Amino acid sequence: MSALTLSTSSAATLRADAVVIGVAKGPKGPVVAAGAEAVDKAFDGKLTAVLEALGATGGEGETTKLPAPSGLKAPVVLAVGLGEAPAKDEGFAHEALRRAAGSAARALAGSKKAAFALPVEDADAAGAVAEGALLGAYSYRPARNAAAAKKDGKADKGAPLAEIALLGGKPRDKAFKAAAERAATVAEEVNRARDLVNMPPNELDPKTFAAAAQTAGKEFGLKVEVLDEKALLKGGFGGIMGVGRGSDAPPRLVRIGYTHPKAEKTLALVGKGITYDSGGISLKPAGHNETMKCDMAGAAAVFAAVVSAARLGLKVNVTGWLALAENMPSGSATRPGDVLKMYGGKTVEVLNTDAEGRLVLGDALARASEENPDAIVDVATLTGAMVLALGNRTFGVMGNDDAFRTSVYEIAEEVGEQAWPMPLPGELRKAMDSPVADFANMGERMGSGLLAGIFLKEFVGEGIAWAHLDIAGPAYHESAPYGYTPKGGTGSAVRTLVRLAEHTAAGDLG
């Protein structure tokens, strides 16, 4: 990941490959944002006029490169759009800063060092710029690809920006330093989740995913327990075994726990970890399989969030449950019509083997509930219906407690992850009635994204606040990158889970 430093140097005197400034969209044209005063001075006060002449508007994500005048040590000035200029006496929204920094970092891929002179009015704004720049600089680059790119001895133009110097911050100010350090930690863990999602499915199966959790556990002092197929069968985890039994790569259930000696609350996080989803016997049609390596994005988010909590030293106990399986068709695969006995004893008739995520999550939710945490949040690329409802950039939030669901939604908005609260209408439950089991894994087509949440609710322990995040839309981005969001795995929900853990540690959630 890119290195991050806080600097007291002026944008005019710091040696770097480029200096990044902000430009806003004003009522009469582009407006240079605070932080760029030294750069404007080097342009003899004509920076705005130059940008306007080059067609810059200050629109969100817009980037304009200019050759720097002699008054700057950096040879290039990169102006990045911040969107609409805020009202007088108001600062830029943190998400605007985050996205602008991400756009700038992407535009400077291949550079060694860039100085970011965006408007940083306080520590939180500094954290937003740092986080956006570090996330924007991400590139999934397996070692063999990076080596191949440098084989001819030329500069690797696809390499991420190597060093980010944040100007306008106060390195000796504890708040600024803490914000920068938090941003670096969270960004690194978001990028960990992105790497996992981007890995080819032949390189990341349940066993190798579990091994990655064990390695992180040793590094960060986490307690990791792995249940293999024998332990799952013996323990009665019929959902996970039912999904994974069609594959040559057997399933795993991983418990990864972080504890703090002064913690008063416990948060359980449950992640869907289907390392590849063919649909099983209910095979997906052509055109729907190619990106199904991303069906473990929920487990990746949970894994990264637990590691983040440990690295940040949060005063809360956080337990992650990674429900890992590969859903494949074979002679041993679960068939439509089979009945599975889930962990805890409930039986489920499988009407569609492509509705497998809820089966592995059901087992994990029931097991997590046995430890009686204060709250449970599950994260899953669960339903295409949620994508139809909310699009590719917004995840749905459901829950059994309206206040907790609202808190999770507001936290997502706080960190810049687009989310929307969704209901769990009780009348949909009857659609899952089964003549041969307690209920089925499918119901009516309309409202099926909500029905999936109702299914999961059946496995949450009595009296435990629970929220369900369906990240099927934003977990994997197939279009062109924007802001700090890359193509491929996005690390969706990691930042929401980390901030939820912070609020829980602070006692803000009751």
Q: Hey, which residues are catalytic here?
A: 284, 358
CB distance 492 to 301 below 8 Å: yes
Phi and psi at residue 164, in whole multiples of 5°? -115, 115
Please name the residue that has the structure tokens 């749905």. 396
d(CA 471, CA 197): 13
Closest CA relative to residue 464, chosen from 337, 358, 336, 378: 378
Whole-number Å distance between alpha carbons of 465 and 467:
7
Residue 227 three-state SS: strand
Rounded CA separation 232/52 (Å): 64
Do residues 81 and 33 make contact, with C-beta atoms less than 8 angstroms apart?
A: no
Specify the DSSP class assigned to residue 461.
Answer: P
- Region for 402 from its dihedrals, namely left if φ exceeds 0, alpha if ψ lies in -120 to 50, beta otherwise: alpha
Interhelix angle 494-506/297-312, nearest 10 degrees: 40
Instruction: Name residue 469's beta-bridge partners.
Output: 379, 397
Give the whole-angstrom CA distance, residue 206 versus residue 228. Answer: 9
Determine how many CB atoms are found less than 10 A away from the CB of residue 53. 9
